[in-house]
Structure 1
Amino acid sequence: MQDDDGRIRLDLCGPGALPPDARAVLVRVGPDAPAAAQARGWAAVVPFAPPAPTAFGHGAGCGCCLGRGGIGTLLGDLFRRRATGDIAWFARVVVMADAASLPALRRDVTTDIVVRARYRATDEQTGENA
């Protein structure tokens, strides 16, 4: 795994797949648990509530339905908040979502040129670049 390219590591995984990390921001996709219960061990916890899946059967937050308004915008805002000191400095972002949402989220973060310039998406099992 190469960590020296200057981008922030971005892990997309299922619920509970990774332990808390004090240098990471947790992005929870879907219904939110109480913030105090989620925040233990993380630098910050950010909810992301994409619209419900469409009648076409697409995953929640898919790029064709949301355009740039979905996870790309949220990650852009996290980067800005990190740079301006509005959020604790973090070295990693963990996006936790259900299995049905992961393919659409992975596609969105790997095809969004702004996200790719700032974040390095990794495979949950291997830790290698996605």
Structure 2
Amino acid sequence: MHEPARHDDGRIALELCARGTAPVADANAVLVTVGQDMGNIDAHAKWGAVVPFTPLPTPFSHGGGCACCTGRGQGLAALLGDLFRRRATGGLPWFGRVVVMADAARLSALRQEMTADLVVRARYRMENEKD
């Protein structure tokens, strides 16, 4: 039996990238900025939407925003759930990709949260991961 290609499995592409890198802007994509000033929104005019996410502060040495610090209701997983709902109900333009931009120190914690959350994994596929 033929297995569908990874990019054709019906889930939304999810990319994590370090702040300072230049992901390819796309009108079919949402840019989520983690813990940083949005700056000039016009600089992101080619994105379908730009959404800020400010994780709760953490007293631990790893970057805030991970599942162990925020739980299911307040972290990036909850924001992604909200983006999915808004996409389905017309609150956001239809998108096929989400790019999460964060400081490099936070990427590991965010990746851990995304791969540990069953709802996120059902709706989104990590682009840089091997399944």
TM-score (norm 2): 0.88
Paired position in structure 1 for 2:32: 27
What SS does structure 1 have at the residue aligned with 2:84?
helix
1:74 pairs, out of 57, 62, 79, with 79
Cα gap change, 1:106 to 1:88, in 2 (>3 Å): same
1:98 pairs, out of 85, 99, 103, with 103
After TM superposition, list the pairs within 5 Å mapping 1:1-130 onto structure 2: 2-15=6-19, 16-34=21-39, 36-52=41-57, 54-68=58-72, 69-123=74-128, 129=130
Percent identity, please. 58
Name the larger-Rg structure: 2
The Cα of 1:5 is off from its aligned counterpart by 0.8
Residue ranges of structure 2 left out of the alignment (5+ in a row): none
Aligned residues: 125
Q: State the distance in 1 between where 2:43 and 2:31 align.
A: 9
The Cα of 1:119 is off from its aligned counterpart by 0.2
Q: State the distance in 2 between where 1:20 and 1:31 align.
A: 18
The Cα of 1:122 is off from its aligned counterpart by 1.5
Cα gap change, 1:120 to 1:55, in 2 (>3 Å): same
The Cα of 1:4 is off from its aligned counterpart by 1.1
Q: What is the identity, as a one-letter code, of the residue corresponding to 1:107? A: Q
